[in-house]
Structure 1
């Protein structure tokens, strides 16, 4: 696991009851009997529970199996069905899945995007994902401007008030896509007034407005009554739920989290969701191997979509030399597997 300091040029936001002063990442390293190393990444916020999932269940089911078997992770998921369909065990399997795709690409000598059917694009634009400033207009305006100065042309807020959206929109002008992630802020009864108040500022989408996020009927009603595009999906782990987001929830943008699903499931979600008419925007808020994995998934799917990029200054930025984000854009790695390995010195410095 890595803990990398971050600076958002404002007081640290709270996350699960503590100030968020670091990016916490959980890397997964898999080595084959032939010495090929694959890297993955699991959702790191619940690190002790995810590590326990590896130690108590996954390791004994995965060791000795073929890394080339694309059904290995789905098979383990079925074997552990009472535990694996959501939560830390699902997140652990996602990291394993990413590492296995890295190995498969290295063994074949091709990028993961090639294994997924071939890259449709080699360049991906990213959007600056600002952390929460709790509606502080000074921080919002200053850091929205900072993102634009660094070359980003799409911006996402983690805010919950129309005043916060207005402050950012004042800086962006009318043409920059401005997304709003509310992290399941409201009940279905509360959401309509809250989202309608943001509508005059033309959010490109409002993300996860309702708790519980599986209330797809309420999401569809909210989409109809407000006319605001909806994004959802980072907390889902089943293809069935992703289907229902579109068929029942009328979601415009579906956002599977690769650190909770892995590459196998994310690619399946993207193919099915985009065939149904929505746009899949795979989510990777983190900086490690998941960043590379989501690049390959975006490159291989039919519709182009932007990459989420946490907007902060970091004590160190993984892959800053091998796969840099420049002016908000990034080139899809062309090397075998994910295309780059984590830096040993960074792991040594920030590993915990």
Structure 2
């Protein structure tokens, strides 16, 4: 079954562009993949096109071989960023093709299921109003009303730290900024109650002392804190491990992990309580599955990062169904209103769970005419309001 064409689609998303690919074969079977990342989605699309030309004529059934060949042959470009996102998309699409060819869902090809429902936690639920405690509380209650028992948010996003003049402060916070962040977390905790878990995002934009201080101040609220996310840059796992040893909240790392080779260092240094690889960045279905198996050996649960497009959600769910150490999967609560319109079937989200389809491959096809009506931006946004 030879690959005959690879098409790319840059599509308008609710936060940033989706980058999708479609791989076609001489058997008349096609597969869909995703490489969504930001803010350089045109670069990612170009990487997908480059990698796509490289695999024309190859056997679509040789998934692991093609992954390894692409990863090794492209090593002079650096095995991360747009290149690995492109490899991720190819890998996802090839699994979709193999499942369709064999008449089986991808999760069956990965060893069968531990679970038919994938528990989700809500992200991107706060988009209305100002950065005020009452706005956060109101929208958090709406999340719980939809059946979610966990949510994530960045209480420091109102500061717009790490961009512009705040760089002069060495990623520290004023006391006023610290109190505001604490008040937002307290308001959400009171609104959702003790049975709903909260993940606190930092995006690695706090300096070390501030990250440690804020973790202790958050812990003093005595709330149901699921984890403290990326308290330092993933390129500095020693710093993450040091912070983890000094704070009373579990640490989650991994949204910027590039392949199992980067994940290994996080695991070896015991820098995380929870690992959150992103299927569109770490290497696709194949690599997410390998990272999960590695993490199992360290007794570390997996909670895949997923603020992306629909095939990221779908492919991640297929993998999470097949591993013993699954925790929760991220889900974009607010999305473009035409998301389900572009899919052959609506995303099966029920009461905070993704319900696995029983259709071959990933179980979804795409209406390309809908994608064509919603082209993605090809220039970066001029503000950071989408970053929450």
TM-score normalised per structure 2: 0.81
Structure showing greater radius of gyration is 2
Equivalent of 2:119 in 120, 125, 136: 125
Counterpart in the other structure of 1:182: 202
Which residue is 2:333 aligned to?
311
Contact kept? 2:244, 2:251, Cα under 8 Å: yes
SS in 2 for 1:274: helix
Residue 152 of structure 1 corresponds to which residue in structure 2?
Answer: 148
Structure 2 spans left out of the alignment, 5+ residues = 1-9, 157-180, 377-388
Q: Is the 8 A contact 1:323 1:333 kept in 2?
A: no
Aligned to 1:226: 247
Matched pairs, number: 334
Distance of aligned partners of 1:89 and 1:317 in 2 relative to their CA distance in 1, 3 Å threshold: same
Report the CA distance between 1:320 and its aligned residue: 8.8
Residue deviations 1:56-97, cap 9 Å, x none? x31232110011002102211100102241111111111111
From 284, 302, 327, the counterpart of 1:262: 284
Per the TM alignment, residue 168 of structure 1 is displaced from its structure 2 partner at its CA by: 0.7
Q: Summarize deviations over 1:183-230 as a string: whole Å, max 9, x none.
A: 1121223211121111123411011121x2222222222222212100
* Cα distance in 2 between the residues matched to 1:75 and 1:196: 46
RMSD: 1.9
Where in structure 1 are there 5+ consecutive unaligned residues?
7-21
Query: Aligned residue for 2:367?
Result: 343
Distance 2:96 2:258 in 1: 21
Task: For 1:4-19, list aligned pairs within 5 A.
Answer: 4=13, 6=14
Task: Note if contact 1:282-1:297 (Cα within 8 Å) is conserved in structure 2.
Answer: no
Q: Secondary structure at the match of 1:304?
A: coil
Q: CA deviation at 1:157?
A: 1.1
What does the per-residue CA deviation read over 1:137-176, in whole Å, with 9 as the maximum and x for residues that have no partner? 1221111011011111111112232222111101111221
- Taking the TM superposition and a 5 Å limit, the aligned residue runs for 1:1-352 are 1-4=10-13, 6=14, 22-45=15-38, 46-55=40-49, 57-70=50-63, 71-130=65-124, 135-160=131-156, 161-200=181-220, 201-210=223-232, 212-260=233-281, 261-312=283-334, 314-318=336-340, 319=343, 321-352=345-376
Q: Is the 8 A contact 1:132 1:159 kept in 2?
A: no
Q: Give the secondary-structure state (helix, strand or coil) at the position aligned to 1:205.
A: strand
Give the 3-state SS of the residue equivalent to 1:217 in structure 2. helix
Deviations 1:123-148 (A, max 9, x none): 11211113566742122111101101
Local SS of the residue matching 1:220:
helix
Contact 2:344 2:367 in 1 (8 A): no
1-structure distance, mates of 2:25, 2:120 = 33
d(CA) in 1 for partners of 2:186 and 2:110?
A: 40
The Cα of 1:323 is off from its aligned counterpart by 3.0
- In structure 2, what is the Cα distance between the partners aligned to 1:50 and 1:23? 13
Deviation at 1:315, TM superposition (A): 2.2
Report the 3-state secondary structure (helix = DSSP H, G, I; strand = E; otherwise coil) of the residue aligned with 1:183: coil
Which residue of structure 2 lines up, in the alignment, with residue 12 of structure 1? Answer: none
